[in-house]
Structures are given as structure tokens and as C-alpha cells.
């Protein structure tokens, strides 16, 4: 990993070039909600994937705590390293998921009246496929957005689309050294504009800008080469199976985490595998329960922060969505440890629940998969926050 202050200083011109590509408007076509999306290539069985710095960044917003309750979709098309199109529209969730939680509406501002006359998810999926064509897809925390598409398809009785995808969060973790990898934090570190977090179009634009900035830093001419340089395996969705985008390791790599004693048979590609985790502050989960759940995923829970701690989960309502959040309290102490050279990442409770909810990195349709597991939080009005919105 590269320390981000050094990266920003040594590569400022590259980051500026990538950010400028993201905000360029001379060749960008904007599609307003309700307008028709351009027709793209059909996703057949042999759809080829682009080999240049060409991709479509996607972000979805959800109506309630069910991940499949998609109520808005944002798409940003990048070709030859430049944004060429922006698309955004509202979606009426499938009938079984068509209600709004106050928490979600407070985040993105979308309510029942807004989607009353919106396209169905079935029509929206066809619009998305038409825009994507044969390009790969990018999302920040793709486990949520791609999982939401799968769950929405299940709720609507539709086949899963055929997509290859990358996760800008996974890539940022491999390329940068930050205290948090939430979308606002990564965008700020790379000089990428994020106009309105939890607006689908804005979040998709920020994800596109992050990938362009990372490609500039890594001097990668294509999405696939960027993934290769960062030791990231691209994800894949087919009509019956899926495989997540996750980190991988070169043979003999010293960066591979140590196998945990708790569950050596856990998925080694899961984000928490081999991580030494400490929890502080009040959570909606009992401490003993969260210890058991992270251990089942291959993590090593410990009671106190030591020199080998690399994940600190902060409760007490900590959000971690802004650099200022890390200037006081427990997060400030973690930042001080990082300043001394310790590789420690801070997660808030919603980050943790998201990771607990995504229990594997592969799956098959018709079997239990992330987003449909048992409830993990107690009687907290904001329980299962991880399912309600992306990072």
C-alpha cells in the first residue's frame, strides 16, 4: 500500500488528470430521470468484455432494509478514460419490497410519491443492461450494489444479468493507506468530487472518478490491468452463479493474512479473514455475538488494541463519513497509531454489519446468500443498517 499523503504529493498531476476526466462535460451526455437510455449491446452468453479503460459505474439506492428494494439507479459511462454519459432514474421496487423506511428516505430523500409513476424494476433492469452493453461495471462496495441487483431480480422473478464488475472500495484498499475506505473518504483522498452522497448519480460519478484516479496512479491502461496491478480478482454475475470482486495474492506474497485459529476453513477472500479486530463503544449487537460472527468469517477478535490490531470497530453512533470524524475521540487515537506506522483501519457499525451480511464471495442462485441471512441486530430501530444503503 502507499501512504496517501505521499501518494497525493508525488502523483498530484496524475490525480488531477483523472479527476478532470471525471468532471469533463464537453463530451458527456446526461440522461435525466424519465428519459430514454441509449440502446447498447445485448448481454448474451458470449458478450465480450472491454479491454480498455472503459466501464460503467453504477450506484443504487434502496427503499428499505431489504437490499433488493432498489428505488434509484445511477450510471456513469466511461470510455477511453473519459466520462461520456450520465444516466439516473427512479425505480418502483418490486411489489413485495415496495415500502419506504424513514431511515432510508432521510438519507436519499426519496419517498413513495416519488416512485409512484416510476419505471418498474424489470423495465429498469433492461435500461441498465442497454447502457452497460459489453462494458464491465464498477461500484463502490460492489458487494452491496451487485447484491442489490441480484436480490431485486429474485423479488421480481427475473434472471440475473450477466455482468463482470470491479469494486472501487476493494481496489482503494489495495492501492491506498487510509483510516477508512467509505466513499466520501476515498473520494476526498483522491481529489474526486462527491456532490451529494446517497444520490445515485453523484455516487456513481464518484466511483468512476476513484477508478480513474487509481488507474492514473497505477499507470494502468485498462480496468483489467488495474485489477492485475492491485492483485484484485474481478467479480462475475451469471444467470445462476456469482463470484465476488475480492483481493487475491501473488504466490509467496508477504501480504497474505495469517490463517486464524477460530475458523481456518473460512473463505480466505473475505475482507475479514485473518484480520485482528478490536471493538470499542456500544453496538446494537452483544459483544459476545459479534466476536463469534467475525471469528466464523476467519477474523481474530481481541479485547484490546495492540501493535497487531488492524481493524478497530467504533460504536456509540460513530459515522466516519467525513475526515473531521477522525479528529476526536477513539478515532483520533487510531489516527495517531497510524501516524506511528501501524496499519489500522476504522469501521463504524454499519460497515461491520455490511461485512457480516456478506458471508461469502461466491454463490449460486437458489441457495442462501448474503442479504437473506438471519437478523443479527437486537431490537434497535436502526437494526440491519448494513442492508439499507451502500457505503
Q: Are residues 329 and 292 in the same domain?
A: yes
Q: How confident is the model at residue 153 (pLDDT cuts 50, 70, 90)?
A: very high
Task: Check whether residue 180 and residue 292 sit in a common domain.
Answer: no
Q: Above 60 in pLDDT, residue 177?
A: yes
Whether residue 98 sits in one domain with residue 24: yes
pLDDT at 344 > cutoff 60: yes
333 and 208 in a common domain:
no
Give residue 381's pLDDT band: very low, low, confident or very high (50, 70, 90). very low
Number of domains in the chain: 2
270 domain-assigned: no
The CATH number linked to 295 is 3.40.50.10190
- Co-location of 218 and 112 in the same domain: yes
CATH number at residue 81: 3.30.420.10
Question: Are 185 and 321 in a shared domain?
Answer: no
pLDDT value of position 42: 33
Q: What is the pLDDT of residues 15-73, one digit of tens each?
A: 444 444 444 433 344 444 444 333 333 333 333 344 579 999 999 999 999 999 999 99
Number of neighbours of residue 118 by Cβ within 10 angstroms? 19
Same domain, 106 and 173: yes
Q: What does the pLDDT read at residue 250?
A: 57
Structural domain boundaries enclosing 292:
276-353
Mean confidence (pLDDT) of the chain: 80
The reported pLDDT for the residue numbered 201 is 95
Give yes or no: residues 319 and 204 share one domain.
Answer: no
Q: Which pLDDT does position 253 carry in this prediction?
A: 54
**For residue 267, is it within any domain?**
no
Same domain, 189 and 226: yes
Amino acid at each position: 500500500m502507499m501512504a496517501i499523503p505521499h501518494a497525493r504529493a508525488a502523483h498530484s498531476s496524475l490525480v488531477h488528470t483523472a479527476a478532470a476526466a471525471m468532471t469533463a462535460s464537453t463530451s458527456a451526455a446526461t440522461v435525466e430521470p424519465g428519459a430514454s437510455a441509449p440502446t447498447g449491446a445485448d448481454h448474451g452468453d458470449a458478450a465480450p468484455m472491454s479491454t480498455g479503460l472503459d466501464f460503467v459505474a453504477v450506484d443504487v439506492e434502496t427503499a428499505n432494509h431489504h437490499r433488493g428494494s432498489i428505488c434509484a439507479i445511477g450510471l456513469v459511462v466511461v470510455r477511453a478514460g473519459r466520462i461520456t454519459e450520465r444516466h439516473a432514474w427512479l425505480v418502483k421496487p418490486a411489489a413485495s419490497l415496495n415500502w419506504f423506511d424513514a431511515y432510508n428516505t432521510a438519507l436519499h430523500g426519496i419517498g413513495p410519491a416519488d416512485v409512484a409513476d416510476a419505471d418498474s424494476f424489470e423495465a429498469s433492469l433492461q435500461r441498465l443492461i442497454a447502457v452497460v452493453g459489453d462494458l464491465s461495471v464498477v461500484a463502490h462496495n460492489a458487494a452491496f450494489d451487485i447484491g442489490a441487483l441480484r436480490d431485486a431480480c429474485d423479488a421480481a422473478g427475473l434472471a440475473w444479468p450477466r455482468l463482470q464488475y470491479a469494486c472501487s472500495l476493494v481496489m482503494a484498499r489495495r492501492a491506498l493507506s487510509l483510516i477508512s475506505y467509505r466513499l466520501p473518504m476515498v473520494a476526498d483522498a483522491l481529489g474526486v468530487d462527491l456532490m451529494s452522497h446517497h444520490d445515485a448519480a453523484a455516487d456513481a460519478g464518484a466511483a468512476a472518478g476513484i477508478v480513474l484516479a487509481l488507474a492514473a496512479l497505477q499507470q494502468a491502461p485498462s480496468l483489467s490491468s488495474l485489477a492485475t496491478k492491485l492483485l484484485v480478482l474481478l467479480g462475475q454475475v451469471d444467470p445462476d452463479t456469482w463470484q465476488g470482486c475480492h483481493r487475491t495474492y501473488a504466490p509467496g506474497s508477504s501480504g497474505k493474512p495469517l490463517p486464524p485459529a477460530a475458523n481456518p476453513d473460512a473463505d480466505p477472500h473475505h475482507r475479514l479473514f485473518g484480520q485482528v479486530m478490536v471493538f470499542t463503544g456500544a453496538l446494537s449487537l452483544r459483544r459476545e455475538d459479534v466476536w463469534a460472527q467475525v471469528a466464523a468469517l476467519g477474523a481474530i477478535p481481541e479485547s484490546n488494541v495492540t501493535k497487531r490490531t488492524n481493524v478497530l470497530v467504533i460504536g456509540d453512533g460513530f459515522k466516519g463519513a467525513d475526515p473531521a470524524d477522525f479528529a476526536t475521540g477513539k478515532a483520533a487515537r487510531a489516527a495517531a497509531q497510524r501516524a506511528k506506522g501501524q496499519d489500522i483501519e476504522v469501521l463504524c457499525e454499519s460497515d461491520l454489519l455490511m461485512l457480516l451480511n456478506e458471508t461469502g464471495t461466491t454463490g449460486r442462485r437458489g441457495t442462501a446468500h448474503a442479504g437473506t441471512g438471519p437478523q443479527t441486530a437486537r431490537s434497535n430501530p436502526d437494526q440491519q443498517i448494513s442492508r439499507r444503503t451502500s457505503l
